[in-house]
Amino acid sequence: MERSRNYLVAISIVLLLLLVVSIVFFHYKAYLLVSLIMIACITIPFFVRFEWREVAGREIVLLAMLAAIAAVGRVPFAGLPSVQPTSFIIIMAGLVFGAESGFLVGAAAALVSNFFLGQGPWTPWQMYAWGMMGVSAGLLRNAWWMKSIWGKCIFGFVWGYLFGWFMNMWIIVSNVEALSWEYFLGIYVSSIYFDLAHGLSNVFFLAVFSASWIKILQRVQRKYGLLV
Amino acid sequence: MGNGIQSIHPFVMFFYYLFVGFYAMFFNHPVFLLVGCFALVAVNLTHDRGSSMKQWLPMMVGMTLLIILVNPFINSRGTHVFFYFRGKQVTLEATLYGVVTSMSLLMILLLFISLNLVLNGNKILYIFSRILPKTAFLIMLSIRFVPLLKRRLTEIQDVQRLKGRTIRQGSIRNRAKSGMAIMQILLAWSLEEAIETADSMKARGYGTGKRSPYNPFRLTKVDRQWLVYLFVLFIISVIGGLLGYGKIIIYPKLGTLHLYSLDWVVFASSMAIILFPVFVEGREQLKWKYSA
């Protein structure tokens, strides 16, 4: 706990310095750069914890497999636009295996699927958004409302929007000088349909399939004593 | 074509992409950015004669045009007014800002197209395996599983189709449902298999000692020379940029677009960075044609 607080203090100082530097030297131009560094600062502790922890071979392979399944999940749904099970699988991983595993599966799934679909400036944002989806699912897994099917559905629906809103940010940040309420609203309005589809497909999958997926994942977890 | 750049060490290429990415976000003189875009197009042409650039063309053109056309109408800052549109002023500054922003984004996109071609999965993981070995290993495993899982998916889909469960027909609800059922079969199958993979890794000694990676890349003398070349030019351009060269003042009032002699120095050194893959390729061609 002590160490993580030190980290947070150090990071906030670094971020403040970066903002000052970006305003003084870059004339408000480097928001994309600063935002990427912010994302890196937030995600690094997760990766570092994973590096330092004793991880059994089975656990690494299991996490890699889950990330690969989440990334491949886009394939059978290619015929259904903006319906993809990736978010659902990441939420499942977070629910069963905890916040850190959820983060790793989410971030790795984003990175791996982009190796096949094309990397771009959006990759770190996707890694962050899906990673945080896994983290939040892991952190909330013991909340009373998360145990009910309704709670899970609301969680999935909210994340459908949060993910879309967050992915809009990279467009806004890369053109921040043009920021006005019309521009901001225009981008968010144009994504409403996609976010709605994302949220609704999350709800559908969570309502119909979450029980059986949790059962399958928990069986593996108990049988081999992994990631408990 | 494109063999020359593939033989350059990944670290050199990593710094190249870092520097050019920085360049695209750092300078905002329209001439710098426009020529930078053309230089990156040339770089992409040397990779594969521009065939992967073609796939991204609609997106690049669409995004550039959108920003250039939309920016002056939603942003009314600036003092040089062209005309009034619905009571809002359309200014030279906002138009120019749209051009600069779109050029900078276009450069980043072009850079990523080149990166996807040159620093392919293996090489990028080689770089990260030095910094985050376990994470890089996880990603590498995961990438390896993707083609395997795709093969399994076709197998499962074939069997399920015989049972009448398909993603191609029916209501959206049913299609999504059968798609997910297929994913569930894949999950149950692959998790068991993953444990087996892990056990066979353990049997071969995974985790018994320090991981020793196979190193397919060697930093040669040529690589070191290129690295020095990139660093020296980068430092020149950054110092020039910090002194204000290669940059213009857009808001609140457009400054001069005139390029001074030192601007040209910064310009030349940054172009020399961006065109580095072209030089590598050209050197190979010359060697091929004229060496004894």
Show the tokens assigned to A24: 């003084």
Judged by CB atoms closer than 8 Å, whether chains meet at A58 and B149 is answered as no
Judged by CB atoms closer than 8 Å, whether chains meet at A58 and B142 is answered as no
Residues of chain A with C-beta less than 8 angstroms from the C-beta of B194: 58, 61-62, 64-65
* A54 close to B (CB below 8 A): no
pLDDT at B100 over 90: no
* Chain B CA closest to residue A118: B116
* Chain B CA closest to residue A79: B168
pLDDT at B218 over 50: yes
Judged by CB atoms closer than 8 Å, whether chains meet at A68 and B145 is answered as yes
| pLDDT of amino acid A7 | 67
Of A60, A182, A201, the CB nearest to B141: A60
Q: Which CATH number fits domain A56-224: 3.30.420.40, 1.10.1760.20, 1.10.569.10, 1.10.287.990?
A: 1.10.1760.20
Among A186-190, B98-102, B277-281, which is the least confidently predicted range?
A: A186-190
| pLDDT of amino acid A180 | 67
* A189 close to B (CB below 8 A): no
Show the tokens assigned to B179: 């798609």
Among A176-180, B47-51, B155-159, which is the least confidently predicted range?
A: A176-180
Among A106-110, B111-115, B125-129, B211-215, which is the least confidently predicted range?
A: B211-215
| pLDDT of amino acid A23 | 60
Mean pLDDT of B210-219: 75
Candidates A33, A69, A88, partner chain B, best to mutate (most B CBs within 10 A): A69
Judged by CB atoms closer than 8 Å, whether chains meet at B167 and A116 is answered as no
Q: Is the dihedral of CA A10, A12, A16, A21 positive or negative?
A: positive
Judged by CB atoms closer than 8 Å, whether chains meet at A216 and B207 is answered as no
| pLDDT of amino acid B189 | 92
* A184 close to B (CB below 8 A): no
Measure in Å the smallest separation between the Cα of A64 and chain B Cα atoms: 5
Judged by CB atoms closer than 8 Å, whether chains meet at B141 and A69 is answered as no
Q: Which residue from B39, B46, B44 is spatially nearest to B56, judged by alpha carbons?
A: B44
Q: What is the DSSP string of chain B?
A: --HHHHTS-HHHHHHHHHHHHHHHHH---HHHHHHHHHHHHHHHHHHHTTHHHHHHHHHHHHHHHHHHHHHHHH---SS-EEEEETTEEEEHHHHHHHHHHHHHHHHHHHHHHHHHHHS-HHHHHHHHHHH-HHHHHHHHHHHHHHHHHHHHHHHHHHHHHHTT--SSSS-HHHHHHHHHHHHHHHHHHHHHHHHHHHHHHHHTTTTSS-----------HHHHHHHHHHHHHHHHHHHHHHTTTT----SSS----PPPHHHHHHHHHHHHHHTHHHHHHHHHHHHHHH--
Residues of chain B with C-beta less than 8 angstroms from the C-beta of A180: 74-75
Q: Is B175 in contact with A79 (CB distance < 8 Å)?
A: yes
Measure in Å the smallest separation between the Cα of A185 and chain B Cα atoms: 11
Mean pLDDT of B168-185: 85
Mean pLDDT of B44-60: 86
- A with B: how many residue pairs have Cβ under 8 Å apart? 189
User: Taking the CB of residue A162, how many other CB atoms lie within 10 A of it?
Assistant: 17
Residues of chain A with C-beta less than 8 angstroms from the C-beta of B173: 204
| Residue numbers of chain A with a pLDDT score lower than 70 | 1-9, 11-12, 15-16, 18-33, 174-180, 228
Residues of chain B with C-beta less than 8 angstroms from the C-beta of A182: 74
Of A47, A56, A67, the CB nearest to B142: A67
| pLDDT of amino acid A155 | 93
Of A77, A175, A186, the CB nearest to B179: A77
- Name the residue ranges covered by the structural domains of chain B: 3-124+223-290, 133-203
* B131 close to A (CB below 8 A): no
- Residue with the bigger pLDDT between B262 and B197: it is B197
Mean pLDDT of B252-257: 70
Judged by CB atoms closer than 8 Å, whether chains meet at A62 and B133 is answered as no
pLDDT, chain B, mean: 84
- Name the residue ranges covered by the structural domains of chain A: 1-53, 56-224
pLDDT at B1 over 90: no
* A117 close to B (CB below 8 A): no
pLDDT at B230 over 50: yes
Measure in Å the smallest separation between the Cα of A2 and chain B Cα atoms: 24
